[in-house]
Amino acid sequence: MSSAMASKRASGGERGVALLMAIVAVLLLSVVVLDTRAGVNLFEDIAYNAAYELQTEYIARSGLALVQAALEKDDTGVDSFSDDWAAANSAGTIPVADLGWVSGRVEDEEGKLNLNTLVNNDGETDGATAKAAGRLWSLLTSLGISESRADEIVAGLTDWMDEDNIVLENGAEDQYYSDLSVPYACPNERLRTVGELALVRGVGDALLNRGEGKIPPLRRFVTIYGGQNGKININTAPAEVLMALTPKGVEGVDYIIDRELADEIVSVRSDAPFTTTNELKERVADFHEDLYNQVLTLIDVNSSHFSAVITGETERSSSTAVGIFARQGKHVSLVYYRGF
């Protein structure tokens, strides 16, 4: 082979390698460009989604502001479902200009049983807290929970909140919770949120938030707000809570609010709210003087704590805001907020 021919072949091989490298470079550049464009589209989607989520968050929060305004304008002497603050419960989904939609529900927390009354301010149990435990047990069984499970829930919640480590019959302290597959401690203090109740022996997330079978969600009937006396607003309490005011077998309870009487109270107040507790005797046929005197310290016609769950929506996103409002006179403050 001549040196000239060898030189030509080498030159041709080099050109071939160079061409191959050029093709590879073009392919790599194309991939980079496509990836860059995909990345830009991804970041655009993220930005748009964040904007929509922020929009729905502020729609939901504006709903809370409307609830607060309604509570500030409300007559504080009497609270009932005919008040402006309760209008959201029947309003359905409302358009918000061209931004989206808002819907929600407002509840009177003092139409529910206050769980924190199962212990006194010193974290101990006494005669008054024993009656509160009886009312909770009565509520649980009226909802369809078995007596044995009601025993477990009441004892478990008392152990959860009282200051000692002594295990009540059917109750639970640290040893029980530390042996769970996901262990946690028994705080020995009052509940800080209603959601904490799901951690207590016998309850669980399903019973608290969704209900089990024909048993409705327990959250609808219980609260941690209100005073130590646990007064119930007779204008807003469901029949099951009204029945729980007179638990059978508890000392000092001689007269009972049964289902029929509780339903009658609900029916009478639907015509017009009670403006005084004394109207129970005047407007409810079978609510006699002795029964009235028995429950007098447990009932009221106004409230100071309200909860709101407001959802803001657009075509691409939704956000929910949960707020608890405390009212003193005309001053209304947001004491709890959670968004999701």
Q: Is the pTM of this model over 0.75?
A: yes
Residue intervals in the chain for CATH 1.10.40.60? 118-219
**Location of structure tokens 């819907």:** 103
Tell me how far apart the alpha carbons of residues 157 and 208 are, in angstroms, rounded to a whole number: 13
Q: Which of 99, 134, 139 is nearest to 118 (CA)?
A: 134
Residues of the chain with CATH 3.30.1300.30: 45-107+303-337
pLDDT at 25: 44
Contacts of residue 196, Cβ cutoff 8 Å, sequence gap at least 6: none
Q: Please, what is the Cα angle at 78 between 257 and 293, to 5 degrees?
A: 35
State the pLDDT at residue 319: 95
What whole-number distance in Å separates Cα of residue 290 and Cα of residue 297? 13
- Other residues' Cβ atoms within 10 Å of the Cβ of residue 193: 11
Query: Which residues of the chain fall short of a pLDDT of 70?
Result: 1-50, 52
CATH topology of domain 45-107+303-337: Pantoate--beta-alanine Ligase; Chain: A,domain 2 (3.30.1300)
Quick one: 118-219 is in which CATH superfamily?
A: EpsJ-like (1.10.40.60)
Q: pLDDT value at position 3?
A: 45
The pLDDT, as a whole number, for residue 20 is 45
Instruction: Measure CA 161 to chain center.
Output: 20
Residue 48: the pLDDT is 59
* 3-class secondary-structure state, position 255: coil
Predicted confidence at residue 30, as pLDDT, reads: 42
Measured from the Cβ of residue 302, the count of other Cβ atoms closer than 10 Å reads 19
CB contact at 8 A, 135 and 252: no
* Predicted local confidence at residue 126, as pLDDT: 96
C-alpha torsion 222→227→232→233, nearest 10 = -110
84, 69 in Cβ contact below 8 A?
Answer: no
